Chains A and B, each alone.
Chain A
Amino acid sequence: MAATSSRFAPQGMLLALPASLVVLAIIVMPMLLLLAGSLRHADAGAVVQAGLTLENYARFFSDSYYLKILGDTIWVSALCTVLALVLGFPVAYFLARTRSRYKSLFIILLVFPLLVGNVVRAAGWMIILGNAGVVNSLLIALGLAEQPAKLLYTPLAVILGTTGVVLPYLVLTLQSVLEGIDFSVEEAARNLGANARTAFFRVLLPIAAPGVAAGTVLVFILCMNAYATPVLLGGTGLTMMAPALYDQITKASNWAFGSALAWILVGATLALALASHWLISRRYARTMAS
C-alpha cells in the first residue's frame, strides 16, 4: 500500500510521461526559444543576432511608457478578477445550492458565452458602447446626454468586456468547489447564533478559500494575458501587455523586444498569481485554525 501511494511510483511517472512530453514540446521549448530570443540584440533584417545582452529588459524597465503598460495590465486584471468574484460568487452559490429542475439549463446558459469567441463578444460590446450604440442612444433619448459619451476605446470598455469573458470560468470553478461543501455546517453556525454574514465569512468562505484562490488565480492569469478584448475595446485608450508584445513582433518586427515583453508578462503573472494564492491560503488557514 505504501509502495503504491509513493509520490515516485514508477507507474504514476509512466502515466504522466506522455503529457509531460507534450507540455515540454509545445510549451516549454517555445518558451525557452523566446527566452533565448529576448537576450539577443534587436536588429532589422534578422530575427536572431549573435551574442547575449540584457538590453531589451533594460529598455523595458527604464521606459515609463512600458512600465505604465505593465501597471495598467496589473490593475485592470486585478479589478476584473475582483468584479468577477463579487458577481460570480452569488451565482455559483445559487447553482451549488439549488434543487431546481432547471439547474442544468442554468449551467448551459452560463457556459453558452464560452461557445462564442472573444472577438464576437467584443463586437457585441462595440455595438453596445459605440457612439451610435445602445447605451449612448438611450442616454440621448432620455435627455441624460446631448453628445454621445466616450465609452468605447476606454479602460471601462476593457474592464466590462474582460470581466464578461472570465466570469463563466470563475462561476464554474466556484460552483464545483461549493458543491463539495456540506452546507449543514453553515446551518449549524446559524443554529448556534451566527447571523448570515458571520456564517458566510467565518464558516463558508474559509472552507471554500482554497477553491476561491484557485479560481481567482486562474481568472487573473486569463486577464493578464487577454489580447482580443483589450485590442478591440481598449483601442488607443488602454494598452495592455499582450497587445503591446504582439505589436512589437507584427508591426515593428522586433522579435527580441517582443520576446522580452513576453517573459516579463510571464514573470509578473506568475509572481502575482503565486503571491495572491499564498496570501489567500495564509489568511484563511489562520481563520480555519481559530
Chain B
Amino acid sequence: MRQQRRQFLKNAGTLALLPALGAQGARALAAPACSGRVVVGTWGGDYQRLLQQNIDPLVQPELEVIYDVGSALARQTKMRAEKGARRSTLDVSLLRDNDMYQMYAEGATMAIDPAQVPNLANVLPSLKRSYAAPHIFSALVLVYDTRQVATAPDGVAALLDKKLAGRIGVVDDQYDYLTLAGALASGGTVKDLELGQKYLRQLKANSPKVYPSVDGLAGALKSGEIWVTVTWKARALQWKKAGLPLAFVFPKEGALPATFEAGVAAGSKAGACGMAYMNAMLDPGAQRAFAEAMGYAPTTSNAGLPPSLQEAVGFSSAELDKLVAVDFDLLAKNKSALLDFWNKEFRVGL
C-alpha cells in the first residue's frame, strides 16, 4: 500500500513536470522502443520537410531516419517487389488510404502491433485500420467562388443546378471519389456505383470542365473560369489562405474522407523501428504542427489544436459523424470499370 502511494506520487510529480519539460517531456514519452535505421518513403517538398522537423526529434537518437522521396507509385512498386525479398530498401511507406488498402490487399503491409504504437489509442475510430496508421486527413467539400455564387450550395446535388452550367470544375484524378460522391448525393450509399454513374451523366449535362490536376482547378477558380467545384477541404484552405475569394461547405449528405496513412512494408527488416516511427507520427505535437502547416485535420483526438485552428482545419463532432467510410475493397475491384466509364463516357466532349 505504502509502495503504491509512493508510486502514485512519483507518477503525479512526473505528469506535473511535463508541461515544464515541454518538447523534452514529449520526446521522452514518444521515445522509440528500438534503435537502428529506418527508411521512410514519402512525398517530397513540404511533407518531407515537416516530417524531418516534427517527427525526427521525437525518435532520435535511437532511430536514424532516412527519407526516400518519390512518387506513391514508386513506393507501391517497392512494397510489392520486396514483400518476399531477403533485403528491403523501405520500412515505412506513406500512401493515400485507397493506395494503402491496395497494398494491404496484396499482402504488402505488415499488421500493426498496437503495443508498439500506443498512440493508436487516440486515433479517431472511423480512421483506424489494422494495417496502417492514419497521419492526416481531409474530406471532399463543395468549394465556391463567393463573388459569383450568391446562395451557398448545400450538397453535391447542387452542382446539377442549371445556373451553374459551364461553371463547374472537376479533377480528372478524382474520377472514383466523384462517382462515390454522386452516389451519396443521389440518396444512395458508397456501394451504389451505378447510382454514382447516373449522377455523373446528369452532371455532364451541366457541362463541367475537367482539369488534369488540382493545380489546374485552382487556376480556373482564380481566373473565374469556374465558380464551383468539389475538392479536399485542405486544398480549399490553402487557396483561401492564398487570397482566393472562396468559401466551402460540408455536404449535407455526408463527406468522403481522404486519409494519408503510414504503413510498415511487409518486407521491412526493421518492423519495430517502423512502428516506433509511426507512433511518433501520431504524437499530439506532431499532429498540431501538420495541421498548422498543411491545413489537414489531425487523425487523433488528443492533438489539442487551438480553437481557431480547430475551427479552420478540423471537423466538428457533427461533421465527423457524417464522414462516410469508403468501401476500399469494392472500390479496388471496380476501379478499372469506373475509369473506363469516366474516360469513355463522362469525359468525352467536355
Interface residues of A (CB under 8 A from B): 42, 44-47, 65, 126, 130-132, 153, 231-232, 235-236, 239, 247-254, 257
B150 is an interface residue with CB less than 8 A from chain A: no
Q: Which 9 A-B pairs have the closest CB atoms?
A: A45-B105, A252-B336, A132-B223, A44-B333, A236-B210, A44-B332, A252-B339, A252-B335, A235-B212
Check A251 against B212 for contact (C-beta < 8 Å).
no
Q: Which of A46, A65, A131, A252 lies in contact with B106, CB distance below 8 A?
A: A46
Indicate whether A253 sits within 8 Å of B335 (C-beta atoms), given known contacts A47-B80, A65-B343, A236-B212: yes
Check B210 against A254 for contact (C-beta < 8 Å).
no
Q: Which of A47, A130, A248 lies in contact with B223, CB distance below 8 A?
A: A130
Q: Which of B80, B219, B332 lies in contact with A130, CB distance below 8 A?
A: B219
* 18 pairs from A and B in contact (CB 8 Å cutoff): A42-B336, A44-B332, A44-B333, A44-B335, A46-B105, A131-B220, A131-B223, A132-B223, A132-B225, A153-B212, A231-B212, A232-B212, A232-B213, A235-B212, A235-B216, A249-B73, A253-B332, A253-B335
Indicate whether A254 sits within 8 Å of B335 (C-beta atoms), given known contacts A65-B344, A130-B223, A236-B347: yes
Check B350 against A236 for contact (C-beta < 8 Å).
yes
Q: Which of B329, B335, B347 lies in contact with A251, CB distance below 8 A?
A: B335
In the complex, the chain A residue whose C-beta lies closest to that of B108 is A47
B211 is an interface residue with CB less than 8 A from chain A: yes
B192 is an interface residue with CB less than 8 A from chain A: no
Check B336 against A235 for contact (C-beta < 8 Å).
no
Query: B162-177: which residues lie under 8 A (CB-CB) from chain A?
Result: 172-173, 175-176
Indicate whether A250 sits within 8 Å of B105 (C-beta atoms), given known contacts A44-B333, A65-B344: no
Q: Give A221 Cβ to nearest chain B Cβ, in Å.
A: 23
Per-residue CB contact flags for chain B residues 188-230 toward chain A (1 = under 8 Å, else 0) read: 0000000000000000000000111100100110010100000
Report, as a range, how many residues of chain B touch the other chain.
20 to 34
Could you tell me the dominant secondary structure of chain A's interface residues?
A: loop
Q: Which of A42, A44, A257 lies in contact with B105, CB distance below 8 A?
A: A44
- In the bound complex, CA of A126 to CA of B215 (Å): 12
Q: Give A93 Cβ to nearest chain B Cβ, in Å.
A: 38
Q: Which of B173, B223, B329, B336 lies in contact with A254, CB distance below 8 A?
A: B336
In the complex, the chain A residue whose C-beta lies closest to that of B330 is A44
Q: B343 contacts which chain A residues (CB < 8 A)? A: 65, 239, 247
Q: Give A37 Cβ to nearest chain B Cβ, in Å.
A: 12
Q: Give A119 Cβ to nearest chain B Cβ, in Å.
A: 11
- In the bound complex, CA of A130 to CA of B223 (Å): 10
B102 is an interface residue with CB less than 8 A from chain A: yes
Q: A47 contacts which chain B residues (CB < 8 A)? A: 80, 106
Check A251 against B350 for contact (C-beta < 8 Å).
no
Kindly name the residue among B212, B333, B339 whose own CB sees the greatest number of chain A CB atoms within 10 A.
B212
Q: Give B15 Cβ to nearest chain A Cβ, in Å.
A: 46
Check B212 against A131 for contact (C-beta < 8 Å).
no
- In the bound complex, CA of A248 to CA of B335 (Å): 9
Q: B80 contacts which chain A residues (CB < 8 A)? A: 47
Q: A257 contacts which chain B residues (CB < 8 A)? A: 336
Q: Give B233 Cβ to nearest chain A Cβ, in Å.
A: 22
In the complex, the chain B residue whose C-beta lies closest to that of A64 is B344
In the complex, the chain B residue whose C-beta lies closest to that of A251 is B339
In the complex, the chain A residue whose C-beta lies closest to that of B211 is A235
Check B73 against A251 for contact (C-beta < 8 Å).
no
In the complex, the chain B residue whose C-beta lies closest to that of A257 is B336
